[in-house]
Each structure stands twice: as C-alpha cells, then as structure tokens.
Chain A
Amino acid sequence: MLSVQNVTAGYEQSVVLENVSINAQKGAVTAVLGRNGVGKTTLIKSIIGLIKPMAGKIEWEDEDITSLPPEERVRKGIGYVPQGREIFSTLTVEENLLLGFEALSKKVNPAQILAEIYELFPILKEMLHRKGGDLSGGQQQQLAIARALIGQPKLLLLDEPMEGIQPSIVQLIRDVIVKIAKEKMVGIVLVEHSLDLAFSCADYFYIFDRGTVVAQGRVSETNMNDIQQFLTV
C-alpha cells in the first residue's frame, strides 16, 4: 500500500537517510526501530511530505506521491501524528479535533466520527473546552492521535507516540493502535525506540542505523535477542 523506494533525504547539505526502502500494509502495524538520530523522524517526514527526498520515490496506492505537498497526501488518506504532538496550544481541544475534519473532502457525519473518537479516548470528551496547551503530555498525545484519526486515514504515521508518557496511557495508546489496525484495517507505521513495546503490537519491523535499514522482518518469526545488538547504546 505504501512503498518507499530507495529514498535519500536530509536537511540542507547533510544526508540523514540513505537509499531507504520500506513497505507498509493495510491492517498491519509496521514498526520502525532504531537509536536516536538514525533517521526515523526524517523517514516519517518524507512520507508525509514535510521533507522533499533528494532521490528515490514514494508510492501510495500505486500512485507516485513524491512531489505532492503534505495537504494532498493527507487528503489521499495518510494521517500523521508528529513527534512532540504539535497540538495547537491556544486552540481548544474541540477546535483541535474539528481541524481533523479538514482531511475529509466528502460530506461526512461529524457526530458519528466524534462519538467513535470519544469511545477510544474518553478523557477528550471531558476536556473539550480546555486549551490544547493546558493538557498534560499524555492527554495531548491522545488528542494528536484522535485528531489524525478523525480524518479517517488508511495509513497512520505515528512518530514516537509513547515517548515520555505515563505507563497507563502507553497501554491505552498501544491498545488503540492494535484496535484500529485490526478492526478498521488501517495501516500503521510506528516509530519507536523501545523494542519490547514495538514487538508487543507490531507485525513487521525495520531497524535503522546510521540512515539505512540494517534489519527487517516479521515480528512473529524473529527472536528479539538477535536484533537487540542494533538498539543498545
């Protein structure tokens, strides 16, 4: 469904990703693992369109989207939850959620979509009129995921969604990820640096080191101990 082919990308003069190819499938969780600074976020930003690759091609549903701006990729069904959440801090929770509908061009029933979202993240319903910036980190993370899900994405890019969040919410977010992948057949690209966490919910994995893929495979066929070496600092 998503196919990143031989992408080289970076910032200004420095190349961060070199000749990277990955695939992500519908209804499956694809984990992207690696130490800090190996290019995981650069990969996600290239997929959503915030970074223009210097070489290579990104295909989405058999269409070349390499040169499309982010808004058009989002309208084609790619959702994005950035590292650091990027909630609109002076807008209310409700306004942040309503902005999620921008991704949908056709007429939808907002009430029904919002009801589903509140079921996944009950805390948001209680916080509707609070400013996004007043929420705790975990609440902001739920809001960011909810905002992306409202756009009914077919592929969801999650950049370290469990980073710096209390364990009970990590559990909640993990469950939501598995649920939307299995029940709504959403493809998920999950950037993580905790191997345990990634392996507890992913179907496929790619391990990055120094800007390239150094290991990949099915989670069910891989022994965690064999790949530990790529992740220890």
Chain B
Amino acid sequence: MERNFTGHVRMSLQILLVEDDSHLRRQLTEQLGHFEHEVQPAGDGQEALSLLGRRPFDAVVLDWMLPTMDGVTLLREMRGQGMTMPVLMLTALGQTLDKVEGLEAGADDYVVKPVDPLELNARLNALVRARRTTEQPSDTIAAGDIVISPSRLMVWRGGQPLALSQTEFRLLLALARDAGEVVTRPMLIERIWGQDFETTTNIVDAHIRQLRVKLLQHGDDPIATVRGMGYVLRA
C-alpha cells in the first residue's frame, strides 16, 4: 500500500528567511534549497525589511526571537505596508504565548524549533497554495475522481456519494486542499482537530486506514503514504 515519495517538487518558491542564528540560517537555506526553493537569508529585521522593499517573495520564514526588531514588530510593519504574503514563524518550544501572539499579529503558521525541513517545506507549500486558491473560490474541491463539497458536507468518488464520518470528512478535505502535496501528520492533526497535540499512538494512521476502506469501495487507493512524513492525496 505504501508508495515512495518521489521527492520532486512542483513549486519553486521565492522564500525570505529571517533568522539571527547564522548556523541555523545556513542550514535552513541549504535544506530548503533541496526542495528547489530559492532562499534569501536575512540576519535581522532591518535587513529583512529592506529586502522586502526591493523584490517580491512567495513566503517569509520568520524567527520570532530576533535582536533589535523582534518577529512581532517586523510582522506588524510588513502587514502595515500592505504585504500579504504568507508568513511562517519559527518559535522555541515552550513559548506558547509567543505563538498565540504571533498568530494574532497575522502569522499564517508556525513551526517549533528544531525545524524539520520536510515539515517546513510541506507547510510552506500548503500556505502558498492556499493563498493562490482563495483567489478563485469555488464551492467544490476536486482531487482526481474525488469531489468534495465543504459547504454541503458531501463527498463523491467517480460520481458515487460516500458516507464518511465527520472526522473522515475533515481528513479527506485536509488532504484534498493540498492534493498532490505531502500533508504531514502534525498538519493533519491541526487541520482535523483545530489544535496540535503530541500523540504516542498512530492516531492519524488509524483514521487514514478507516478512510481508505471507504475510498476503496469505489476505486483504487488514492492516498499514498510518505514514510516518516505524512500522506499525499493523488491530484
């Protein structure tokens, strides 16, 4: 049932990375480069603002703890200047209040340090994709032969309606929003249950298996498992 993730990336993004720790900055620049993104590093808020003024970026990865100008100030400045690109913030573990403050200030997502590059890449792709699709809203979402109507809570596969539980529905929707892209387990947990928790059992995998059983009634398995990362729904 498992398929290997091919690793090829459709989107090559222009990313601004604002991180004061030079070691982490270098590492993240290199690691995001593996996914064919073009990464522009910046060491502090001032440098980041001047770079933002010079050319457009698809997304910003913003360390929350920065010298002189902290993440929240920089973010407010950016939003104040009308920059709407997605911002993903990096927070230290145990800084929940920073996280809350960041999301309230207009950050789109966050990743807790130490950063898993696969997780970071998956989230960046999802953020950029979400920005592009909201520009052309439609009532239904399609992925392969699967059609989902979020407003009517209905799902069809090959024209046949499927009876899914609420959780299964949310899971399929979470995968379909980024069909063709890896959606990681933490992302799925956030999208289905609206918050993140640590689990010590394979909760997400068990729900995926239940969903697969229902999807297999009307065709082959459209969900691929990406080892050590998450799942991809065939586009």
Q: Is B truly associated with A?
A: no
- Chain B interfacial positions (CB closer than 8 Å to A): none
